[in-house]
Structure 1
Amino acid sequence: MKSTLKTLMLTAAVLAAPVMGNAQSSDAKLHYVLVSHAPDSDSWWNTVKNGIALAGEQMGVEVEYRNPPTGDLADMARIIEQTTASQPDGIITTLADFDVLSGPIKAAVAQGIDVIIMNSGSPAQAAEVGALMYVGQPEYDAGLAAGQRAKRDGIHSFLCVNHYISSPSSTERCQGFADGLGIELGNQMIDSGQDPSEIKNRVLAYLSANPTTEAVLTLGPTSADPTILALQENGLAGSIYFGTFDLGEEIVKGLKSGIIKWGIDQQPFLQAYLPVVVLTNYDRYGVLPGNNINSGPGFVTKDGLAKVEEFAGKFR
């Protein structure tokens, strides 16, 4: 990991432009807060927590993780406001819904708090709210790339299992996939909710009512894991084209067994780790990378599972 950090720091040094701003002494104890939109039940975010923990340890700074327990975005907006009032040295936050979250984020920037947008949102939205940069995967582009891949594989119809339909970035994944296929999204996206049993039942119901569906797209472990069970129950596991966003232990098992064709790795570890490194060096030395950082998409298939399987749910 030391060599990885050196590589990251060398890259930052090459790209960095010196900023003669309020650089702080390297002896100062810096405090950052990462605010996500994820509910407590979403295990995918454990990798994000591991990323900030490691970065905090390596950089010698304090990093907290805060989130709305149920994933309610209005609650998240309040958490950002409360975090701003506590005056941390920097805020790392998702931008799951621009309309709901842009106001609190702009208010933090107006109070002189450095902000980095990670995971959701876009580089353009990050610039609009006054953030230093964006680190993440453009969701529509990732969905588009996945749809284009599926089209090359001969797919013409699909089911998108959206377990977080209140988040616009989730819908962007489904819409991008449809556009990549060159078809209308229409009713091919379902609101599955987040209860595993309900997700499984809704997938079974959709595929029963639409037996000519050629592919299934899930948006992460929350929807992928119950969908695997649904396909095993109706006999379609391994025969229906199945792609998913994100990685997790059951997704890796699905890739290995051939149930899942590919997973899209947006590298959540880097989405959490890099902002802490960037903020620390910005505060200490006044240097800042000149570009936003796209952490994905990267397609993971059965052929490239060695490192993924070893670190799934921890760093992948």
Structure 2
Amino acid sequence: MKRTRKLFLGLLAAATLVLAGCTNSGSSGSSSSTNVAAGGSCPYTFAVITHGDNGSFWSVVYKGAKAAAADYGCKLSEVYGSQQQGQAQPDDNAENAQILNAINQHVSGIAVSDHDPSIMNSTLQRAKAAGIPVVLLNAGCDNTDIAASGAMTCVGQPETLAGQHAGARFLQDGASNVLCVVHQSGQNLLDRCNGIAQGLGLSGNCSTGSAPSSGPACTELILSTPNAASNPQQAIGQVSSYLQSHPQINGVMTLNNAIGTALVSAHPTNVKIATFDLNPAVQQDIQSGGIDFAVDQQQFLQGYLPINFLYLYTKDHGQTTGGGTTVASGPLLVDKTNISTVSAAISAGDD
């Protein structure tokens, strides 16, 4: 997509600021008011609304948004997370109400995770009709959803693509009979599993039921543990039991790093373990060999870039980014060979 020279320079400057570590260290994901105006004299107010909580993943997203607002001197009206700590599933109706509240506040732009398009797309179209630009983040990174929501783009990890990379890596490492562990509902998680199947060379999707006796194969295990990510030890009992019943499985992909690190502690034999997303525990497990690789979706960028794009759109008379497609913040496969290059970001809370 052709961009003007001004937009290119703006994006380049923003990227330079990210690399230089010019970030605000706050990480609150609650609904308390957040007023960030440390940079210049930006007159705009942007809302950040997600389906996440303030856990280790989402706090980095919020940190990115606050860093971008601080770099430009703009304000964030509020940083919302519809899923509270200990809550089993995101509350999509609550998130939708937060979007409506931002529209009624006449914010300058909305950065939002489109977690349930069937509920949220019509509301996001109301934002567009009110002249409020929208950039999706993390969820909704699908061309159809972007168009249906009226957003200019989505910043996130194309989930099927991430799965394809992971599946190809498993195959490269000699693990062709893969179990994909789904910890909560969400089409994005199923897309990851289906991508793994494609990366393994399968023509169909990742299947449910019993794993076949040999690969290439991808089998989904949908955990029945309520809020499995916050209760990984209980969830791992279900995973371990499945592996004992299906000793032919030689690769496990967990879609949440708490499940991944807990599985390392369970010591499955002759099984390569991989996970999505990084934290210090995953870093340690990669370095020790407990985890083969992790898929890094670089969520700091999922917070930073939407504010960057909304600022440029509002300031520079409607210049858009993304062309109605996803601006990918990943995937980056991290293993022993490159963990050192991202360790500083992990330590700083930027990954």
TM-score (norm: length of structure 2): 0.77
Q: Which moved more, 1:256-265 or 1:98-107?
A: 98-107
Cross-structure match for 1:186 = 208
Describe the superposition over 1:282-308 as per-residue Cα deviations: whole angstroms up to 9, x where unpaired.
Answer: 212223335442111111111112232
Q: Is the 8 Å Cα contact of residues 41 and 72 (structure 2) preserved in structure 1?
A: no
State the shift of 1:281 in Å. 1.8
Aligned ranges 1:210-221 → 2 under 5 Å? 210-221=246-257
State the shift of 1:10 in Å. 3.3
Q: Is the 8 Å Cα contact of residues 200 and 229 (structure 1) preserved in structure 2?
A: no
Cross-structure match for 1:315 = 350
CA distance in 2, matches of 1:230, 1:172: 27
Amino acid aligned to 2:320 = L
Cross-structure match for 1:103 = 122
Question: What is the aligned counterpart of 1:50 among 45, 63, 70?
Answer: 63
CA distance in 1, matches of 2:116, 2:44: 28
Question: What is the aligned counterpart of 1:30 among 44, 48, 57?
Answer: 44
Q: Is the 8 Å Cα contact of residues 118 and 135 (structure 1) preserved in structure 2?
A: yes
Question: What is the aligned counterpart of 1:78 among 97, 103, 115?
Answer: 97
Q: Is the 8 Å Cα contact of residues 260 and 273 (structure 2) preserved in structure 1?
A: no
Describe the superposition over 1:174-222 as per-residue Cα deviations: whole angstroms up to 9, x where unpaired.
Answer: 1111222234422322233332222221221211221221111011323
Cross-structure match for 1:196 = 232
Cα distance, 1:112–1:246 mapped onto 2, change above 3 Å: same
Percent identity of the aligned residues? Answer: 29
Amino acid aligned to 2:75 = E
Structure with the bigger percentage of helix: 1
Question: What SS is found at the alignment partner of 2:337?
Answer: helix
State the shift of 1:248 in Å. 1.3
Cross-structure match for 2:74 = 61
State yes or no: 1:278 paired with 2:309.
yes
CA distance in 1, matches of 2:13, 2:41: 24
Aligned ranges 1:1-316 → 2 under 5 Å? 9-10=11-12, 27-40=41-54, 42-63=55-76, 64-68=78-82, 69=84, 70=87, 71-124=90-143, 125-164=145-184, 166-183=185-202, 184-187=206-209, 188-192=219-223, 193-194=228-229, 195-231=231-267, 235-236=268-269, 239-286=270-317, 287-289=319-321, 291=323, 292-312=326-346, 314-316=349-351
State the shift of 1:37 in Å. 1.2
CA distance in 2, matches of 1:248, 1:35: 23
Cα distance, 1:8–1:197 mapped onto 2, change above 3 Å: farther
CA distance in 1, matches of 2:198, 2:256: 20
CA distance in 2, matches of 1:266, 1:138: 9
Cα distance, 1:304–1:95 mapped onto 2, change above 3 Å: same
State the shift of 1:103 in Å. 2.1
Q: Is the 8 Å Cα contact of residues 49 and 99 (structure 2) preserved in structure 1?
A: yes
Question: What SS is found at the alignment partner of 1:158?
Answer: strand
Describe the superposition over 1:128-187 as per-residue Cα deviations: whole angstroms up to 9, x where unpaired.
Answer: 2111112111101111121122123322212212122x2110111111112222344223
CA distance in 2, matches of 1:273, 1:12: 9
TM-score (norm: length of structure 1): 0.84
**Structure 2 residues without counterparts, runs of 5 or longer:** 1-7, 16-39, 210-218
Aligned residue pairs, count? 292
CA distance in 2, matches of 1:172, 1:123: 11
CA distance in 1, matches of 2:56, 2:42: 33
Over aligned residue pairs, what C-alpha RMSD do you find? 2.3
CA distance in 2, matches of 1:135, 1:290: 9
Question: What SS is found at the alignment partner of 1:190?
Answer: strand
Q: Is the 8 Å Cα contact of residues 97 and 168 (structure 1) preserved in structure 2?
A: no
Higher RCO structure (Cα 8 Å, ≥6 apart): 1
Q: Is the 8 Å Cα contact of residues 181 and 220 (structure 2) preserved in structure 1?
A: yes
State the shift of 1:31 in Å. 1.0
Cα distance, 1:84–1:173 mapped onto 2, change above 3 Å: same
Q: Is the 8 Å Cα contact of residues 92 and 118 (structure 1) preserved in structure 2?
A: yes
CA distance in 1, matches of 2:138, 2:292: 24
Cα distance, 1:157–1:278 mapped onto 2, change above 3 Å: same
Cα distance, 1:203–1:308 mapped onto 2, change above 3 Å: same
Question: What SS is found at the alignment partner of 1:131?
Answer: coil
Q: Is the 8 Å Cα contact of residues 135 and 293 (structure 1) preserved in structure 2?
A: yes
CA distance in 1, matches of 2:141, 2:336: 30
Amino acid aligned to 2:170 = A
